[in-house]
Amino acid sequence: MTSWQRPVGVLFVLGIVTACAERTTAPMDENLGPAFAATAGPVLDEGYIQAKLDEINARLASTAAGYAVARAELSLAPSANPASPIVVYASDHQLRLSSQWVAGDPRRGATGPELTWGNFAMFMTANGAGPAEGSIDAAFGTWNAVSCSNLELKKVNLSPGNFPSLILGNATSNPLEADISTIGFLPGAIFDAVLGTGASTSVLGVTFTFIWVGANGPTDIDGDHRADTALKEIWYNDAFVWSTSGGPDVDVETVALHEEGHGLELGHFGRVAVNTKKGTLIVSPRAVMNAFILGTLRSPLGSDNGAYCGNWASWPN
């Protein structure tokens, strides 16, 4: 094991997070969903998740893949235990640096400044909602329409039979057909197996970030002091009941907008608190990128737009 592969645990982000966020006067927004006190599950075991990420990196290193998983970012249901980790880092402090896509990166086969996304068609049906690809694509369209950036998000069709998951795939998988691969709606048992007991009832979605690595660890070919992103892998938890209409169930487009924000290097925003009298969660400020998904929200708000523009206003430079 090289020095940059040593596990160092997790980062808890349940305080005030400033990630290029705009100042906002938005009030605290109280969750109207399930009562926290009545439904909160066990705290997710960060050590278990860490071990799984280390296993993945050991497997990738054995094949000289040239990339490694840097972090897993979890979006949590209102019923999740607030003490659960929402970001897990795979290795030492070098991987704690923010990563960023490199325009025209030849290692990704990129030919221009755009980023691509692809959906694995077999898993595009959501429990309770039916076909969900349109909602996932609509969320990408929302990010694509943010006017402060020249970034173009382009959909590509994955080759028939290609299962692009680096976490669950095999030697025949091609994870680089798209920059951001939506694997789709997976059984809750897979969430428990990879993220630990309780994930099936608390984690709505997860985005895995993979970065390019060389003999000395993460690469930085454009000299921006950020690790070079190789690809992203997004999962949704089919143990929940989903909706594409913004109804009382979990809204696909809302969670997709959040996970795709991670695909575009946005972190979690906002303070999370518990109203013990009402048994509910509260976030401040309200944002698409709150770690807890507290109802339908299909448009970026102030903090989301500020962070997006901070990341992408000068793209592709």
pLDDT one-digit tens code per residue, 129-174: 999 999 999 999 999 999 999 999 999 999 988 999 999 987 678 9
Hey, where are the domains in the chain? 3-312
Q: Taking the model in full, what pTM does it have?
A: 0.88
Share of the chain above pLDDT 70, in %: 85
Residue 48 φ/ψ region, left for φ over 0, alpha for ψ in the -120 to 50 degree band, beta for the rest: alpha
Whether 11 has a pLDDT exceeding 70, the answer reads: no
Backbone angles phi, psi at 154, to 5 degrees: -125, 130
CB 283 within 8 A of CB 271: yes
CB 290 within 8 A of CB 42: no
Domain 3-312 has CATH 3.40.390.10: yes
Q: Are strands 153-155 and 242-243 parallel, antiparallel or unpaired?
A: unpaired
Q: Which residues of 110-137 are buried (b: 16+ CB within 10 A; e: fewer)?
A: beeebbbbbbbeebbebbebeebbebbb
Share of the chain above pLDDT 90, in %: 72
70-85 average pLDDT score: 92
